[in-house]
Structure 1
Amino acid sequence: MTDSASRERALEQTVFDEWPTELRALFDGTSLETKAGFTASLILCEANGHLRTSLLGVGELYAPDARTLAFALWPSSRAARALREQAARGRAQAGLTFVYEAAFYQVQLDVRPLSDADGERGAQDALACFVASIETGEAQQVRYARLNSGITFELGATKPAVLERWGQQVGRLRQALLGAR
């Protein structure tokens, strides 16, 4: 194999412990309508060793600063339950994976639950809010192939209602973070 052929196949890898500028903009809680369709996979390990994945959109993710990610889950979800159990034992961890701008991202997170951001809201509207700090992140891409997307979705007829709910969810994450600081 020639040097140029091996360079073409070479994996380009970037390691980070702070959100790159473009990812802070992606997770800033604004312009949700232009970011709809983006999906990240939150991956965690339950006490029994089973891996669980929760798919999150931009309306469930919020990065208030360069090292932090807040996210919202349904309180009854297996992921929320597992993260609360891990935190009760001392340390909760999760991985966040996604495709953005032709690169595959994998971010290792240290997670802790936030207090209920919904206060007196009914259980129907409640969210389990968590805040995570970046332990390490990695972006990977190769020159010979371009990642066009990861998991994506289309909102369809429910788009206005979903965007409204997302705006409220990001607002709840902001409120929960203010109460935690």
Structure 2
Amino acid sequence: MKLQRVNKTITVDPIKITLFEDIKNIHNTNISDFIDKALEEFLSKFAPDEMQRQKIRDLEQELAEAQQTLPEIDFMMKQRKAQQASKQKEEPDNKNNKQILEKYELNKNSLAAQVNKKLIDWKTISDVYGFKNPQEAEDIIRDKLKEDGLLGCEACKKWNSKSQYCKTYNKTMNPNNSCRNWERT
């Protein structure tokens, strides 16, 4: 912590100042710092009690400044921890979604058969795949199956895509419909 400086007019021999400035690259000190240091040494020798009091005042001031900045630092750290916590919550979701997609890819034909034959238990699928609830499992799995062309009559051997005729029901059916007699094409 730098103290405020007081401007005082000091008379110094110009030759000594010139010599001091000429060897500045050796000592790397400006004249004000040199005089301040010399005064401190002088006062420590002849008024040590006052110099000790000054050190205590300086340390108390530094402590007060540190105590003032502590609440700001605490606030910033709480924000950082909250951000990290939210980031950690997001990462497992992304990891979980990746695992769900990997499991889906491995079992999509089986899932398609279960959904189309109306034999699927969404509670079990939710538990096995790690969905939050059965409704989420149903929505996501159905969307993925539809996206992959594995859902409904359009993916069944018993349905004619040109005429939209189903051999099971002996009538024209909606491509998104599925029945218990569904067969994978």
Q: TM-score, normalised by structure 2?
A: 0.26
Greater fraction of residues in strand: 1
Whose relative contact order is higher, 1 or 2, with alpha carbons under 8 Å and at least 6 apart? 1
Greater fraction of residues in helix: 2
Q: TM-score, normalised by structure 1?
A: 0.26
